[in-house]
Amino acid sequence: MKDARTTDFITRELHDRASLRIGSKFQKQENSTSQIIHFLTSSCDEGVVRNGGRRGSSYGPQAILNSFKGLIAPAGDYCFHTSELCSDAPNFELKQERSYQKWMSLLPQLQQSRFPFVHLGGGHDHIYPLLRTLDSIPARINIFNVDAHTDTRSDTWDHSGTPFRQFAKRASNSFILYQYGLHPYANPSTNFIPLGKGQMHLEWHTETRPVQTDYFKKYFDQCEIAIFSLDADALDSSVMEAVSAVNPDGLEKRELRCMVDAFKLSPAPLKVFGIYEYNPLFDNLSQKGQRYLASIIYNLFF
C-alpha cells in the first residue's frame, strides 16, 4: 500500500508540474481576452531534396514545438495558435501556390498581432510564399538572413537554395536583403547576381565585428516589416549537427543571442522570426539542436 500511495503522489506531482509548461498555453479555443502568439509551420522537405539535400526537415517544425511546449510558462494571459501551411498538392510549384494562398488568408490576423509571429520550416524554400504575402503590403521590408549560403541560386528550377531570387523576380516593392554569416566556399559566384528590386548586402563569416546587441540593431530599424530568417546550417556544428549541410565553422550561441535581442527591440510594427532546415533525423539522442532552437524562441518572447 505504501508503494502504491507513493506512486500516486508522484503521478499527481508530475501532473501538476506539467500544468506549468508552455504546452498548456496551446489552446484550440482561445479566451477572447488572451493575447495570441502565432506559430506557422511548413512541414515539407521537398525543396531540400530538389537542392540535393537529405530528407528529414519536414519533421523539424513539430520537433521544435515539442521541445518548446516543455519549457516553463511565465505568468500572463496569452496563448499560442498554430497553423500548418503545407498542402498535399501533386507538385512543388502548386504546393508553393497553395501555401501562399493560406498565408494570404492569415495575413489580417498577423497584421493585428502585437507579437512577432514564428514561422518554422521545412526547407528554406518556404520563406518564398511568406515573402510574396508580405509584398502585398506597400511597406519597406528588411530581411536579415542568417545563413552559410545566400539562397539566391540562379538554377532553372526552384528549391531551398533559390527562394530570395525567386521572390525578387516578382516583388512589387523594394526590399533589403542582409546576408549574414556567409562562407566563401558555400556560394558560387552566380549567387551574387543583382536581385532586381532588392538590394543585397553581404557579411562574411570571416569578417571581424563586435558581438553585441547594438551592432545588430541597424538591420531591423527604419522598416515597416522586419524578417529574421535563421537557416539552422549557419550555426556551428558544436551546437547544430542536425542539418543537411553541417557547418564546421559556423556561428556561436552568443552571437546569435545578440541578433535575437536586437530583433526584439525593433520598432517595426510587423515582425517575423523564421527557423528553417532543422533536421531532427540527424540530431543526437539528447536532442541538443532541437532544444537549442526552442530556447531561442523562448528568448524571443520572454
CB 294 within 8 A of CB 68: yes
Q: Taking 70 as the threshold, does the pLDDT of residue 4 lie above it? A: no
Residue 178 has φ and ψ, to the nearest 5°, of -95, 125
Decide which of 28 and 7 is more confident.
7
- pLDDT tier, 31 (very low <50, low <70, confident <90, very high otherwise): low
Q: Average pLDDT of 195-208?
A: 94
Q: Taking 90 as the threshold, does the pLDDT of residue 11 lie above it? A: no
Average predicted confidence (pLDDT) for the chain:
94
Calpha distance 44→42 (Å, rounded) = 6
The domains of the chain are located at 35-301
Identify the pLDDT of residue 297.
98
pLDDT tens-place string over residues 133-173: 999 999 999 999 999 999 999 999 999 999 999 999 999 99
pLDDT tens-place string over residues 64-97: 999 999 999 998 899 999 999 999 899 999 999 9
Q: Is 52 exposed, middle or buried (0-12, 13-18, 19+ CB in 10 A)?
A: exposed
| CATH class in words for 35-301 | alpha beta
Which of 1-5, 39-43, 84-88, 156-160 is predicted least confidently? 1-5
pLDDT tens-place string over residues 171-187: 999 999 999 999 999 99
How far is CA 19 from its chain centroid?
27
Residue 68 has φ and ψ, to the nearest 5°, of -60, -40
Identify the pLDDT of residue 28.
59
Which of 5-14, 183-192, 210-219 is predicted least confidently? 5-14
- pLDDT tier, 32 (very low <50, low <70, confident <90, very high otherwise): low
| Cα R_g (the chain), whole angstroms | 20
Q: Average pLDDT of 189-211?
A: 94
Q: Average pLDDT of 12-22?
A: 79
Partners of 26 in the β-ladder: 80
Q: Average pLDDT of 197-224?
A: 94
Q: Average pLDDT of 238-262?
A: 96
pLDDT tens-place string over residues 252-291: 999 999 999 999 999 999 999 999 999 999 999 999 999 9
Which of 30-39, 55-64, 252-261 is predicted least confidently? 30-39
CB 97 within 8 A of CB 39: no
- pLDDT tier, 5 (very low <50, low <70, confident <90, very high otherwise): low
Calpha distance 55→86 (Å, rounded) = 16
